[in-house]
Amino acid sequence: MPTQTKSQKQIQNLHDSLEDIKTREGVVGYILRASKSAAVDIKDPSKIINYAALSAAVLESGEGISKIFNLGEIETIILEGADTKILSIIVGDNRLSIFMEKKVDHSTIYKDLNLT
Amino acid sequence: MSREVFVTALRNSLREIRNICHDVKFSFLFTWDGALVAEDAQAEGTMMENAVHLFKSVAEKAVTIGGLDTLMIDGDNGRVYISSADDMYLALVMSKDADVAYLRSVTRVIVPTILKLLESVVPTPLKFMPSQQLVVDNLSGFRSRLAGDTVEIDHEILKQWSELIDGKDVNEVEIEAFSGKKARCRVRAIEDSKLVGNGLIRIPEKPFQALEVKKGELVRVKPLAF
């Protein structure tokens, strides 16, 4: 069996962390898109399409704005709405958005993703 | 109070924010529909326009989470923080070490207070027209001489602008090339039906040369006369 690369390990860790994070109070779900696949787990299925479109827009715009203002590599993008917020990150080819209630501490969620 | 005074007051407020918080590189204010309202002296026009354009696509989709309150993009070299302020958005471009909590509390007080103060002395709300990026086409020869300094753009765009200003005619525009050169010109609708709907701005020789543009280049066009 071939040895896992660092990046593959990171993605596996990410999947494991998400399984835990999604059960936490106030976490609404997540969308993880890779180049050829996507994992979607949103508590209210009627919101999946809207959330997917929003997630894609946040990440695309975030990357664009980062380039315009020379922010360097994106660490996190936090979008806050009236009652929900989104933590978006880019890990290699993977683009993750975690949806949560506004009261949830997104920095704890980010830490618990164990990306470093 | 004129629009110019209103914008100057906001510009001064933005400069003060930068003076208070040295980690702010520059800042600007824009409306939901993408019209730039004010920027501090350090901000560069094209960058802001492009950023606002990208931001708009997020704001439109954020209705699904009850509208967009704040957006923070955290990079390894710096941060951009965009927050709603009344019916506008304030964008702060700052260094990585900026104290976001402090900035948030400062801007949440200063900007809405200034806006409320200005609104209380402005008899009717000022409208900020979104600018449009159009492709340069040049009017040459006899048509150019006939046109004088009058540029031509799609009737549909003129109609949209007109709707935003309660049906009044738009008869003057400001054109800004990406080099930063600007020109004010009278405007009318494109007559040639083959050219309608292509996002063109047909510019006569004189302003064409003043702007130092080339055919096919993009320019930013903003209505002025209202």
pLDDT at B50: 87
- Residue B83 pLDDT level (bands cut at 50, 70, 90): very high
- Min Cα distance A99 → chain B (Å) is 10
Name the band, by pLDDT with cuts 50, 70 and 90, for residue B111. confident
Nearest to A77 among B51, B66, B73 (CB): B73
Residue of A nearest to B43 (CA): A69
Measured between beta carbons, the chain B residues lying within 8 angstroms of A84 are 65-66
Element holding A66 (H helix, E strand):
helix A48-68
Structural tokens at position B36: 């730039």
Mark yes or no for CB contact A79/B70 under 8 Å.
yes
Please answer yes or no on whether B77 and A71 come within 8 Å at the CB atom.
yes
Is pLDDT larger for residue B51 or for residue B119?
Answer: B51
Please compute, for residue A61, the number of CA atoms within 13 A of its CA located in the half-sphere on the CB side: 28
> Tokens representing A84?
């929900």
> Do B67 and A82 count as a contact with CB atoms less than 8 A apart?
yes
- Delineate the domains of chain A, giving CATH numbers in brackets: 6-112 (3.30.450.30)
Q: Where are the beta strands (DSSP E) in chain A?
A: 27-33, 38-42, 74-81, 84-91, 94-101
CATH number of B3-121: 3.30.450.30
The Cα A99–Cα A55 span in angstroms is 9
**Residues 61-90 in A contacting B (C-alpha not used; CB under 8 Å):** 61-62, 64-66, 68-86
> pLDDT grade, residue B109 (50/70/90)?
confident
Alpha helices, H only, chain B? 3-20, 45-61, 100-121, 141-147, 155-164, 205-211
Over residues B63-80, the pLDDT tens digits come to 899 899 999 999 999 999
Distance (Å, rounded) from C-alpha B144 to C-alpha B192? 14
A54/B75 CB distance under 8 A: no
Chain A positions in Cβ-Cβ contact with residue B47 (cut-off 8 Å): 68-69
Higher pLDDT: B13 or A110? It is A110
**Is A35 touching B (CB cutoff 8 A)?**
no
The whole-number pLDDT of residue A1 equals 47
Q: In this model, does residue A84 exceed pLDDT 90?
A: yes
Cβ separation B66–A82 shorter than 8 A: yes
pTM score of the predicted model: 0.74
Q: How many other CB atoms sit within 10 Å of the CB of residue A10?
A: 17
Give the pLDDT score at A98: 97
ipTM of the complex: 0.92
Tell me what pLDDT residue B91 has. Answer: 93
* Neighboring chain B residues of A81 at a CB cutoff of 8 Å: 62, 64-69
Chain-chain contact of B74 with A58 (C-beta, under 8 angstroms)? no
Task: Select from A6, A19, A41 the least CA-distant residue to A113.
Answer: A19
A106–chain B Cβ distance below 8 A for any pair: no
- Give me the architecture of the B132-223 domain, per CATH: Beta Barrel (2.40)
Dist. CA B224–CA B108, nearest whole Å: 31
pLDDT in tens, A21-45: 999 999 999 999 988 888 999 999 9
Q: With an 8 Å Cβ cutoff, is B61 touching chain A?
A: yes
**Is pLDDT of B48 > 60?**
yes
